[in-house]
Amino acid sequence: MSELTDIQIKAWIRNDDRFEQRGDGGGLFLSYRKEFATPIWRFRYRFAGQRKVMLLGSYADLSLAEARRQAKEYRARVALGYDVAAEKQERKAEALEKIEAAKNAYTVGHLADEYFAKTILGRWKHPNIVRARIEKDIKPNIGKIPVEDVKPMDISRMLEVIVDRGAPTIANDVLRCTKRMFDYAIKRHVIQFNPASAFDLSDAGGKEEARDRALSRDELVTLFEAMRKTKGFSSMNEMTMKLLLMLAVRKGELITARVDQFDLDNATWRLTASDTKTKAEIIIPLPDQAVELLRDIIRLSDGEYLFPARKYQEQRLPYIHENTLNVALSKVKANMPGVEPFTIHDFRRTARTHLAALGVESHIAERCLNHKIKGVEGIYNRHDYFDEREAALQKLASFLEACEKGKNWNVSPLRKAAL
């Protein structure tokens, strides 16, 4: 029996010459049945007295030379006492088993979702912050890895990706979240060791220095101008920014506020202990300008929350996402060339700075920010300074209104220099 050639095979395909089998010798043969799109290679051999046949592949994927090479290797293994067809079936079964195992694997993504649902949602005041870190940083980097397969090297690479994009503070947050997440997995007996345990902040974003950025009067004037002319920056966003500046509250306290916390007839906003970061209840006196803004916001919101979610959010929070205002402010800052970078978090420091420049006493200004009075005085002095805070915040709101209108504020030359 003569050996096959590529010229013959291609002619058979071209002429649609169908056949059951044509041999090449040594157990290798080609089959081109009517139901086949292309000819296929098979290898025939005898093992333990039984005739066996195994598929090698199609001619489209396996050349004549490659088919001969494989047949030669199989003949050698058969001679050594191996059932090559059975081996191939075992390898296929193992591959399918691995695929099935991968489908059913408990991955870091599954762990993250369970950790969020069981320990964060319903317990943290701002669970969307943790959800953002999970969805934007943890899942894209290590989410598909089975939990038991995560190595410290995987943690290191994830942190490097975040730091390299210029987000060291987020890298620190992700490290903290990842450590807690794997500690949760240990408690559930999923793993025995935390792959992130050896890392500290020096391996992520480093020590976080306290910020000292505050916007000057001229920068506030520029900010108000930019908010007015920025396309896509809504009136709701503008009113929210103004409230943050004139009330000196934390962003989270404002965006999660409920309408029933406000008594606009008496110009007050009540924050309970569960509503504040410091767990200290406070009644905030509302300046005239804030009351006016809030009436418009409540009319537009028409719901339980002052700032209801504007679109479907995966975490199904009833109020706007914590990044909503950050994204909005980024559009405004694009229209503020020459102004040093700042964040919404800097608004509280801005308010505190201008309260001081407006002549508000330090302990009053601190209470406006819902800071505890330090030292012995803080222990014995439980006075809330409501009237004093009311006057201070009204003065701040009027100053901001003047900045918005581009007018000069009537203060002493010494304080004007500070502004």
DSSP 346-387: HHHHHHHHHHHHTT--HHHHHHHTTPPPPHHHHHH-----HH
**Residue 134 to residues 138, 170, 324: CA-CA distances in angstroms?**
5, 11, 17
For 359, the token pair is 């002549």
Return the structure tokens found at 379.
């222990």
Please tell me the distance from the alpha carbon of residue 163 to that of residue 158, in angstroms, as a whole number.
9
User: Helices 217-229 and 386-404 sit at what angle, rounded to 10 degrees?
Assistant: 60
Cβ burial of 383 (10 Å; 0-12, 13-18, 19+) is exposed
Are the C-beta atoms of residues 362 and 394 closer than 8 Å to each other?
Answer: no
Cβ atoms of residues 41 and 67 within 8 Å: yes
- Both tokens of residue 239? 């009113």
CA separation for the pair 168, 204 (Å, rounded): 7
How far apart CA 74 and CA 23 sit, in angstroms, is 16
pTM of the model: 0.57
Per-residue pLDDT of the chain (419 residues; tens, 9 = 90+): 568 999 999 999 999 999 999 999 999 999 999 999 999 999 999 998 899 999 999 999 999 999 999 999 999 999 999 999 988 888 887 777 776 666 678 899 999 999 999 999 887 777 888 888 999 999 999 999 999 999 999 999 999 999 888 888 889 999 999 999 999 999 999 999 999 999 988 878 776 566 688 999 999 999 999 999 999 899 999 999 999 999 999 888 898 899 999 999 999 999 887 766 666 788 999 999 999 999 999 999 888 899 888 765 544 568 887 778 888 999 999 999 999 988 888 999 999 999 999 999 998 999 998 876 655 444 444 568 899 999 999 999 999 999 998 866 554 443 444 44
Rg (CA), the chain: 35
Tokens 């003047």 map to which residue? Answer: 402
SS3 115: helix
For helices 217-229 and 235-247, angle between their N-to-C axes, nearest 10 degrees: 160
Pairwise CA distance, residues 174 & 404, whole Å:
38
Going from the C-alpha of 44 to that of each of 49, 91, 345, the distances in angstroms are 13, 19, 75
| Beta strand ranges found along 204-275 (DSSP E) | 262-263, 268-271
Domains and CATH numbers, the chain: 6-102 (3.30.160.390), 108-203 (1.10.150.130), 217-418 (1.10.443.10)
